[in-house]
Amino acid sequence: MKKIYKAHILYTKEKSRFEVLENGYVAVDAAGRVAGVSVHLAALDSKDAEVIDLGDRLLIPAMNDLHVHAPQYRNQGIAMDLELLPWLQNYTFPEEMKYADTGYAERMYRRFVHDLWRFGTMRSCVFATIHTESTRLLMRLFQEAGMGALVGKVGMNRDCPEGLMESVEKMVQGYETLIAEFNKPDALVRPIITPRFIPSCTPEMLRACGELAAKYQLPVQSHLSENKDEVELVKTLEPESTCYGDAYDRYGLFGQTPTVMAHCVYTEGEELELIKRRGVMVAHCPASNLNVSTAIAPIRQFFEEGLRVGLGSDVSGGHNLNIFRVMVYAIQASKLHYQRNHDRHFLTLSEAFWMATKSAGSFFGKVGSFEPGYEFDALVIDDSDLNHDHYSLLERLERYIYLGDDRQIEKRFCRGKELGEPK
Ligand code: GUN
Ligand code: FE
């Protein structure tokens, strides 16, 4: 049945500004898609519709996390004293090895999915581990919660601890199992091909990943040009490649199917052109860049070049799962970066919001906006405890983004369905 929600509606059709509808209405059809949005009820087809008045609440698109590691959730907020490569070897790989144990995986993954729900992230692009059974478990937990996720069993067979490597054959077998169970058209939870990054994968592993993506027309995710030492290492591992991105491209892992690459801190010149040509999406992970990278990705420049950019938490390189916090890091980091160089303007609130909603959402389909035809992924925010004075609706949203947390999120919707707290 069609539903019409009345509230103060804020969203971004374009990155340069917010759409603000004071006491507006959004109509949602039986399939969970937006049928119309207006300040006038009469402008919407309200025949047979249930009208739900949300009063003085804010109604905004739900958050999307374009890059996050589920098995690193226990490490969130610890081990932040090293740069990327030693951080992986000393803290991250040992934690991920524990996911051979499905009991451990279930306990941790339940917490992880619960907390994504808590912070209003309804879609995410997730790295699991090499372990097929634990990855299946994570996918089932997302399904039970009703949340959208692209989940990757991780391909790794080089320069990692013994317990965190898998042969190419086993990797392919594991994927085939997950694909048979989860690769259904229109499913909210689907597999995504996930070679960890060039240093963890031999050419044979990369080739097999590219072949799987092509055979099943599955999307691809990985890491790109995140840290200086990593970029140098890749030059020695793939000397034939003209740039880091080209090393993926050679194996069919760079836009041959929809592709998202995390970080791109050191992307320039040829790599930037290749990203643009292939329509590869960038997952900007500012909290993680501040913690384990060696610089921040130049997002304003990416915008000028017309690249597609969304936001990622990158837990546990990033220490915070809450994408509203990640928006703030994106803005603050861009201020340090561009103010110092006096060359470009820092990121604005609407740009950060757009990256977390409509732009990141585009990787999952028509997600992240309230324009007609978009899937209704939404959050109802009761900011009365933050709203002690007369603020405009935009100021209320800005205060929520900077000061709010899960306590103000009253309802969460994914594809039109209200989602209760996962068990
Ligand atoms: N590069 C390869 N693996 C990882 C990871 O787990 N986190 C981050 N931030 N970068 C990586
Ligand atoms: Fe990452």
Which are the contacts of 272, defined by CB distance < 8 A and separation ≥ 6?
Answer: 302, 305, 307
Q: How high is the mean pLDDT of the chain?
A: 97
Q: How far is the CA of 223 from the centre of ligand 2 (A)?
A: 6
Q: Which atom of ligand 1 is nearest to the CA of 197?
A: 2
pLDDT at 27: 98
User: Tell me: the pLDDT tens digits for 55-71?
Assistant: 999 999 999 999 999 99
388 pLDDT more than 90: no
343 pLDDT more than 90: no
User: Tell me: the pLDDT tens digits for 150-180?
Assistant: 999 999 999 999 999 999 999 999 999 999 9
Ligand 1 pocket test: which of 83, 89, 226 has the largest number of ligand atoms within 8 Å of its C-beta?
226
Q: How far is the CA of 355 from the centre of ligand 2 (A)?
A: 17
Q: How far is the CA of 32 from the centre of ligand 1 (A)?
A: 35
89 pLDDT more than 90: yes
User: Tell me: the pLDDT tens digits for 321-339?
Assistant: 999 999 999 999 999 999 8
342 pLDDT more than 90: no
State the DSSP string of 306-323: T-EEEE---BTTBS---H
User: Tell me: the pLDDT tens digits for 344-373?
Assistant: 999 999 999 999 999 999 999 999 999 999
Dist CA 254 CA 220 (whole Å): 8
pLDDT class for 417, splitting at 50, 70, 90?
very high
pLDDT at 339: 84
What's the burial of 331, exposed, middle or buried (CB within 10 Å: 0-12/13-18/19+)?
middle
Tokens standing for 163? 């317990």
Q: How far is the CA of 359 from the centre of ligand 2 (A)?
A: 19
Dist CA 220 CA 144 (whole Å): 24
Tokens standing for 119? 């912070």
pLDDT at 249: 98
Chain center to CA of 280: 14
Could you give the 3-state DSSP secondary structure of residue 123? strand
Q: Report which of 103, 6, 4 is spatially closest to residue 47, judged by C-alpha positions.
A: 4
pLDDT class for 269, splitting at 50, 70, 90?
very high
Q: Which atom of ligand 1 is nearest to the CA of 69?
A: 6
Dist CA 398 CA 390 (whole Å): 14
User: Tell me: the pLDDT tens digits for 191-246?
Assistant: 999 999 999 999 999 999 999 999 999 999 999 999 999 999 999 999 999 999 99
User: How many other C-beta atoms lie within 10 A of the C-beta of residue 295?
Assistant: 14
The residue extents of the domains of the chain are 3-61+369-418, 63-364
Residue 174 and residue 153 in contact, taking contact as beta carbons nearer than 8 Å: yes
83 pLDDT more than 80: yes
pLDDT class for 307, splitting at 50, 70, 90?
very high
Residue 40 and residue 4 in contact, taking contact as beta carbons nearer than 8 Å: no
Dist CA 149 CA 28 (whole Å): 22
Rounded average pLDDT over 98-119: 98
Ligand 1 pocket test: which of 76, 83, 97, 223 has the largest number of ligand atoms within 8 Å of its C-beta?
223
389 pLDDT more than 90: no
Tokens standing for 304? 């000028």
Dist CA 151 CA 75 (whole Å): 19
pLDDT class for 52, splitting at 50, 70, 90?
very high
Which residues does ligand 1 sit against, CB inside 6 Å? 69, 84, 88, 92, 196-197, 223, 226, 288, 292, 314, 317
Rounded average pLDDT over 376-393: 94
Rounded average pLDDT over 282-306: 97
Q: Report which of 354, 187, 214, 336 is spatially closest to residue 284, judged by C-alpha positions.
A: 354
| Beta-ladder partners of 284 | 311
Ligand 1 pocket test: which of 197, 221, 233, 294 has the largest number of ligand atoms within 8 Å of its C-beta?
197
Q: Please identify, in words, the CATH class of the domain defined by 63-364.
A: alpha beta
Q: Please identify every residue whose CB atom is under 5 Å from ligand 2, which is an ion.
A: 262, 314
Q: Please identify, in words, the CATH class of the domain defined by 3-61+369-418.
A: mainly beta
Dist CA 277 CA 284 (whole Å): 19
Total residue count of the chain as it appears in this document: 423
pLDDT class for 340, splitting at 50, 70, 90?
confident
Which alpha helices (H) appear in 50-131, and where do they start and end? 84-87, 93-97, 102-118
Residue 319 and residue 291 in contact, taking contact as beta carbons nearer than 8 Å: yes
Rounded average pLDDT over 41-49: 94
What's the burial of 162, exposed, middle or buried (CB within 10 Å: 0-12/13-18/19+)?
exposed
Identity of residue 275: I
Q: How far is the CA of 233 from the centre of ligand 1 (A)?
A: 14
DSSP assigned state of 159: S
What is the crossing angle of helices 323-341 and 393-403, to 10°?
100
pLDDT at 236: 97
pLDDT at 380: 98
For 237, half-sphere exposure in the C-beta direction (CA atoms, 13 angstrom radius) is: 20
